[in-house]
A and B are shown apart, each in its own frame.
Chain A
Amino acid sequence: MLEQEITPEIVKEHGLSAQEYQRILGALGRAPNMTELGIYSVMWSEHCSYKSSKIHLKKLPTERPWVICGPGENAGIIDIEDGQALIFKMESHNHPSYIEPYQGAATGVGGILRDVFTMGARPIANMNALRFGAPEHAKTRHLLAGVVEGVGGYGNCVGVPTVGGETNFDESYNGNILVNAMNVGLADANKIFYSAAAGVGNPVVYVGSKTGRDGIHGATMASAEFTEDSEEKRPTVQVGDPFTEKLLIEACLELMDTDAIIAIQDMGAAGLTSSSVEMASKGGVGFLLDLDKVPQREENMLPYEMCLSESQERMLMVLKPGHEAEAEAIFRKWELDFAVIGEITDSGHLELQFGGEIVGDMPINSLVDDAPEYDRPHVPTPKRQAVEVAAPDDINQAILDLIGGPHLCSRRWIWEQYDHMVMADTIQRPGGDAAVVRIHGTEKAIAISTDVTPRYCYADPFEGGKQAVAETWRNVTAVGALPLAITNCLNFGNPERPEIMGQLVGCLQGISEACEALDYPVISGNVSLYNETNGTAILPTPAIGGVGLMKDSSKMATVPFKRDGDVIILLGETKGELGVSLYQKQILGLDEGCPPSIDLTTERRNGDFVRALIENGQVDTCHDLSDGGLIAALADMAISGKMGAVITVGDLIPLHAVLFGEDQARYLLAVDASLAETVINEAMDAGIPVAKLGTVGGDKITVNDGVVNIALDDLTKAHEGWMPNYMTAE
């Protein structure tokens, strides 16, 4: 294999263009061997190099005073005071999850956990954003079941709670589901570990699981479109071992308590190759690796295979000289492999030794800095015209269909398969606006929400990008937390098509504008392109993971109605925006018009006002308005609180537009009757549109004296029933 001649076919199989191959020849001054070609192919893959997105990602706002570390490291870091820091990131595992849903999803969780604990954090919360094809598509049920089981199988065993997420269905994901996993960890702000290698002669140490032949070329697979024969790629899906990951977490955190580590990096996509190249590149040094010393699970592995394997649960470290024995003792205690596999050099090259010979020698900067960067042509999505959206034949039935349909039904079937309580700090469980996890041993808590509305992004990428950020901000606000920063996972189709590139560029502009206006910087993220099957792209799906901080978690607000007689108050302006609404999609089966507009100044003003109400103890029951509009929020509050509501809305706007409109920057509150007038007056003083809609109580949801009249029991049955029924149907 080492001697194999590099033909144009082999270059193509490695996902490299002819021009890119010429670039490699230029960088090396000679032809690469197979191992080197393999390494260039993964380092220059879309997945590792961000070659199509980089020039646009650079424009994202990434700085604010509380940001300790923005994009570029394994994960981003923010300061949450008292000497503590949060480390978080979201990452995609789309392609593997479609091919093998359980392992694809499980290793997605494993990978994002490593990105976080490699920086010195104890992981404290898992989140996810999942998209599946249409419910009626033949594969959807199988994929949903497998992904959920995989997410749970990994997180439950590792003992990190999976506290929330979002799950959506759309036919554009029929052949290309999305599995985006997020993790949040807690670290001491003065004890953070980075990946920059340093110190010529210092030992390079491999810890964790042994290297096998699994996952070879996973990063390359993730950088190509799917075709019918993608099933044949099943062997490139990695297999996860959460038990080893748990040991690895404990061993790494134990070693981090000592003074032995100079740099540490997990082996993620492209495994040993990308971890060593990134560490060397960041530190401006070279690496000499002796591949014979790599712990191996299988016999007769070749350098090519060892370098490209994506075997899971492995880490690479640079230790301070003389600390090897101390470190080894810790890893032996946890029954993990520990091997010194090389050393830092001043060559500026990645040199690979095998059987006593040098089998690879590449300049580090050529692998990283010389990676191609493309300014791909992009055309904006054409602006749409606003349309009239018809009323339903039967509004009561439409409400039942929505609340009891695939898009708004309870996700309990999913999250009851996740241990969402382990670590005993989950103070707001799944099902609310944001998950809330207490900072262990304190009164502080963090709120986390993952959101995006892909149908908005498809209709108008700029407004959709803004909305995705604004919705996480609103969800984090609705529990009473101050939103601090986001991570993102940008899932798009083939960037070589100008209209897809236009979606990416438009969404990023929207995200930037919202982050800027809301003081909500991007601190980490991931790009997943080529999400297409046989030329059909997914809806543009820039999933946003937002994180906020609550100083006094006893003030936290939740969704369920709590007291009979509470006054129901709607904050924010209702114009009845039904373009691209869930109502239009599900009930009318249409995708027309413009998504709701986002005014970020209004968003901020309204959100800041709500947060203050919660912090002051005036409000403990709050829900943001999003998919499905006012009636969906009201139903959630009633169903979860097991209390009905009687409301009246005016007739200036058609009733279906009031109930289903998805106007932004709105919150529904249930306020103790004695405080209601004060809250309404304060809103008016702040210039915020406010409406007293009615009161909590009874066993029905009633609107406008019975125009809408639905028994809470029926609504609850519909809401809770859809997913279990769907999953058990043949």
Chain B
Amino acid sequence: MKSAVIVFPGSNCDRDMAVAIEKVTGVKPTMVWHQEYDFDPVDFIALPGGFSYGDYLRCGAMSARSHIMGEVAKRAKAGVPTLGVCNGFQVLAEAGLLPGALMRNAGLKFVCRDVSLKVVNADTRFTSGYDGGQEITVPVAHHDGNYFADSDTISALEDGGQVAFRYTEDINGSCNGIAGVTNKAGNILGMMPHPERMVDPALGGFDGIHDGRALFESVLAGIG
């Protein structure tokens, strides 16, 4: 499986994402600098976490309007599985590739800790390796993860199976506790928690949980 990790100025989970992808797929992803918009075709695109453009203006706003996002949008709309984690989710939302917006955490503070997530829809390109309703532990690390959309949009997301992950407790004030959503076609996923930080047993806390791994395995299985 060929993967690309898009790197913006200020991305800082790009290496973590690359390490995780390589660990699961066995293939080193291509690191694509935001000015290299003609990157080779890949089976999977990942937008990593970080503070692209320093979060200035709004989180993800500047990256969303960068030239390379035009290319990412084109490929994502053509069906390439595309994952945005944390700042990557913010970029996808700002780019209009996913519905909703990420606002400042309800508690107004940056929050970095393990959270428990429920796999709401295990029938997507990114979640087929999980059981529906399964609870997993994955860390969050964000200041602006409060997912918001109007009530019609939220209903449509819930009814359409677009809610992939939900927090089991209130972390940041997100509508319906939404932690991750897909587009209608199900090939674009944005999520605030960091699955790439949970593919290595040495990082799984004291009990060896490594629940981010299945997400990458799902993508890999879908590529075949």
Contact = CB atoms under 8 A, between A and B. Distances in A.
B109 to A, nearest CB: 6
Contacts, number: 84
A616 B84 CA distance: 43
Nearest to B13: A422
B139 interface: yes
A247 B10 contact: yes
A156 B51 contact: yes
A152 interface: yes
B113 interface: yes
A416 B203 contact: no
Contacts of A153: 110
Q: How large is the interface on B (under 10, 10 to 19, 20 to 34, 35 or more residues)?
A: 20 to 34
Nearest to B20: A424
B12 A159 contact: yes
B9 interface: yes
A417 B12 contact: no
A707 interface: no
B12 A158 contact: yes
Contacts of B123: none
Interface in A242-256: 242-244, 246-247
Interface in A157-177: 157-159
B110 A152 contact: yes
Interface string B186-224: 000000001011001011001000000000000000000
A330 to B, nearest CB: 12
Q: How large is the interface on A (under 10, 10 to 19, 20 to 34, 35 or more residues)?
A: 20 to 34
A192 interface: no
A421 B202 contact: no
B202 A246 contact: no
A421 B203 contact: yes
- Highest count of chain B CB atoms <10 Å: which of A415, A427, A553: A427
A419 interface: yes
Interface in B32-65: 49-51, 53-56
Interface in A402-426: 415-426
B85 to A, nearest CB: 12
Nearest to B143: A156
Interface in A423-450: 423-427, 438
A351 interface: no
Interface stretch (A112-120, A135-143, A554-562, A607-615): A554-562
Interface in B1-33: 9-10, 12-13, 15-16, 19-20
A424 B206 CA distance: 15
Contact of B202 (A158, A419, A553, A558): A553
Given A243-B10, A427-B203, A421 B139 contact: yes
Contact of A421 (B109, B110, B112, B206): B112
Given A424-B200, A438-B202, 19 more contacts: A156-B51, A156-B110, A156-B112, A159-B12, A159-B50, A242-B51, A243-B10, A243-B54, A244-B54, A247-B10, A416-B112, A418-B110, A421-B139, A421-B197, A422-B12, A422-B13, A424-B197, A427-B203, A554-B202
Interface of A: 149, 152-153, 156-159, 241-244, 246-247, 334-335, 415-427, 438, 553-554, 558, 560, 562
20 contacts: A149-B109, A149-B110, A153-B110, A156-B112, A156-B141, A157-B10, A242-B51, A243-B54, A246-B12, A246-B51, A334-B9, A335-B9, A417-B112, A419-B110, A419-B112, A421-B112, A421-B141, A422-B16, A424-B196, A424-B197
